[in-house]
C-alpha cells in the first residue's frame, strides 16, 4: 500500500488487517517501552515479568470484545458499526449522555497524551543538540513546526501505513543502540538485581505497574482503526503479529535494562547513555519514531474535532467539490491541537506527573471496563446466549 499525503474520498479504500497491525504497533510499542528498565528497578524480576506477561491476554481479550461489539451492532436491524468509542457508548450504554461522557474521557485523555508526545519530541531534540543547551519550550516549538506539514496532510489512518511500518524499525533501532552500548560497557560491579525490589512499597509498585498497564491501553482508537479497515471483521487477526512482538519487546527491554543497570537503572531508557554520538543518534531515531506515533494519533484527535465542527465535510476529499475548504478546516484543527498542546505541556511544571495520575485513573477503565460494558449491553439487545457469546469471542 502506498503512502498518500493528499487524501481523497474516491481514492480512500481503507487498510488491510496487516496495515492496521503496523498502525497499532506504532502506538503500543511506543515510548512507554523506554520506561521498562526503571519499572524493573522498582519491582524486581518477578513482578515485572508477571505483570508484562499476564496483562497481555487481558488487553487482547478486551480488544476482541470491542471487535465483537462492532460486528454485532452492524448485524442488528437498522444497526451500524461504530466509528469511535464515543459512538459505541451512544449505541450501547444509554444515548447522548453516555456518548458525551465517553468522548470527554477518551479524547480528553488522548489530547493530553498528544501534549506529552510534544514534550518527548522536545526532549529528543535536546538530545540531538545536547552541546547547544537548547531550552525545552524552543525545542517543542521546533518539533511541532517539523511535524506540521505531514500532520495537515494525512486525514485517514490508512494513509499512514507505510510510515507506521517504518516506525517499528525506528524504535527497534533506538533500543538496539542503547542495549548494544550497555552490553559493550558491561555490567558494573556495584549493580545489583533482586527477585523482589528491596525498597518495594505499595505506592512504588502501583506507580510501576501503572506504566505497564498504560503500555497495553491503546483501545481508545481501536474503533477508528476498525472503521478504517477494508474488512473490519479481520481486526482480531492483527494480534497474530502484535501480541507476541509486543510481549517480546517489553520483556527484552525490561530484562536487558535491569540486568545491566539493576538498581541503578534510569526511568528513561536513553538516560542510561552518556552524552556522545550514540546518545545523539538514539535521540534522532527516537524523535522520528515519536513524531510518527504523534502524527498517527493526531489523525484521530484532529478528525474528531473536525467532525464536531463540520460533520458534512469531514470525509470530503481534496479534489472533490468543497475539498479545499475541508482540507483547510482539518489543517486549522491540527494547528489548534499543536498550539494548545505545546502551551499546556510547557506551562504546567508538573505536567508529566499530572498525566501519569490521569492515565492511572482513566486508561484502565477506558481500555478494559468500557469494552466489557459495551459487549454486555449488546448481548442484552441481541438476545445471544451468554455462554455461546463468550465461546465465540
User: Over the stretch 235-286, which tens digit does the pLDDT of each residue have?
Assistant: 888 888 888 888 998 999 899 989 988 888 776 667 766 777 777 888 888 8
What pLDDT is attached to residue 10? 36
- Tell me the three-class secondary structure of 196-208, residue by residue: CCCCCCHHHHHHH
For residue 10, tell me if it sits in a domain.
no
- Domain annotation covers residue 162: yes
What is the CATH classification number for the domain harbouring 154? Answer: 1.10.4160.10
Q: Strand locations in the chain, DSSP E? A: none
Q: Is residue 179 part of a domain?
A: yes
User: What would the DSSP string read from start to end of 7-25?
Assistant: --TTT---B-HHHHHHHHH
With contact defined as beta carbons under 8 Å apart, do 168 and 19 qualify?
A: no
Residue 386 belongs to some domain of the structure: yes
Residue 52 in domain: yes
Look at residue 4 and tell me if it is in a domain. Answer: no
Highest mean pLDDT among 3-17, 144-158, 248-262: 248-262
| Domains contained in the chain, number | 1
Question: Which pLDDT tens digit goes with each residue over 64-96?
Answer: 999 999 888 888 877 788 888 888 888 888 778
Rounded to two decimals, the pTM is 0.77
Q: Does some domain include residue 6?
A: no
The confidence score (pLDDT) of residue 26 equals 64
* Residue 338 belongs to a domain: yes
Q: For residue 186, give its domain range.
A: 17-72+82-392
Which of 5-9, 261-265, 355-359 bottoms out in mean pLDDT, i.e. has the lowest? Answer: 5-9
Query: Cell match 492483527: residue?
Result: 238
Amino acid at each position: 500500500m502506498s503512502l498518500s499525503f493528499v487524501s481523497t474520498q474516491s481514492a480512500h479504500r481503507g487498510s488491510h488487517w496487516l496495515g492496521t497491525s503496523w498502525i497499532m504497533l506504532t502506538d503500543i510499542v511506543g515510548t512507554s517501552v523506554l520506561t521498562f528498565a526503571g519499572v524493573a528497578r522498582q519491582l524486581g524480576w518477578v513482578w515485572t515479568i508477571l505483570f508484562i506477561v499476564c496483562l497481555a491476554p487481558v488487553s487482547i481479550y478486551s480488544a476482541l470484545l470491542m471487535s465483537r461489539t462492532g460486528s454485532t451492532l452492524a448485524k442488528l436491524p437498522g444497526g451500524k458499526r461504530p466509528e469511535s468509542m464515543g459512538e459505541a457508548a451512544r449505541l450501547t450504554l444509554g444515548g447522548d449522555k453516555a456518548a458525551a461522557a465517553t468522548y470527554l474521557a477518551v479524547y480528553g485523555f488522548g489530547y493530553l497524551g498528544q501534549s506529552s508526545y510534544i514534550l518527548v519530541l522536545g526532549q529528543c531534540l535536546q538530545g540531538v543538540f545536547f552541546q547547544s543547551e537548547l531550552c525545552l519550550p524552543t525545542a517543542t516549538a521546533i518539533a511541532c513546526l517539523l511535524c506540521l506539514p505531514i500532520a495537515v496532510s494525512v486525514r485517514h489512518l490508512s494513509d499512514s501505513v507505510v510510515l507506521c511500518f517504518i516506525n517499528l524499525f525506528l524504535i527497534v533501532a533506538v533500543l538496539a543502540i542503547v542495549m548494544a552500548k550497555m552490553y559493550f560497557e558491561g555490567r558494573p560491579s556495584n549493580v545489583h538485581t533482586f527477585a523482589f525490589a528491596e525498597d518495594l512499597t505499595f505506592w512504588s509498585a502501583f506507580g510501576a505497574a501503572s506504566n505497564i498497564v498504560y503500555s497495553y491501553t491503546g483501545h481508545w482508537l481501536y474503533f477508528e482503526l476498525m472503521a478504517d479497515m477494508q474488512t473490519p471483521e479481520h481486526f482480531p487477526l492483527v494480534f497474530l503479529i502484535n501480541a507476541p512482538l509486543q510481549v517480546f519487546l517489553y520483556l527484552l527491554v525490561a530484562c536487558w535494562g535491569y540486568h545491566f543497570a539493576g538498581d541503578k537503572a534510569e526511568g528513561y531508557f536513553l538516560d542510561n547513555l552518556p552524552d556522545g554520538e550514540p546518545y545523539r543518534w538514539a535521540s534522532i531515531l527516537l524523535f522520528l519514531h515519536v513524531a510518527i506515533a504523534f502524527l498517527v494519533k493526531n489523525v484521530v484527535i484532529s478528525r474528531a474535532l473536525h467532525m464536531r465542527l463540520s460533520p458534512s465535510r469531514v470525509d470530503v476529499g481534496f479534489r472533490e467539490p468543497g475539498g479545499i475548504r475541508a482540507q483547510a478546516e482539518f489543517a486549522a484543527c491540527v494547528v489548534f491541537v499543536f498550539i494548545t498542546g505545546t502551551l499546556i505541556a510547557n506551562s504546567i511544571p508538573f505536567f508529566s506527573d499530572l498525566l501519569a495520575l490521569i492515565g492511572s485513573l482513566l486508561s484502565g477503565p477506558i481500555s478494559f471496563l468500557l469494552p466489557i460494558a459495551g459487549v454486555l449491553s449488546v448481548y442484552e439487545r441481541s438476545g445471544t446466549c451468554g455462554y455461546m457469546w463468550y465461546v465465540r469471542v
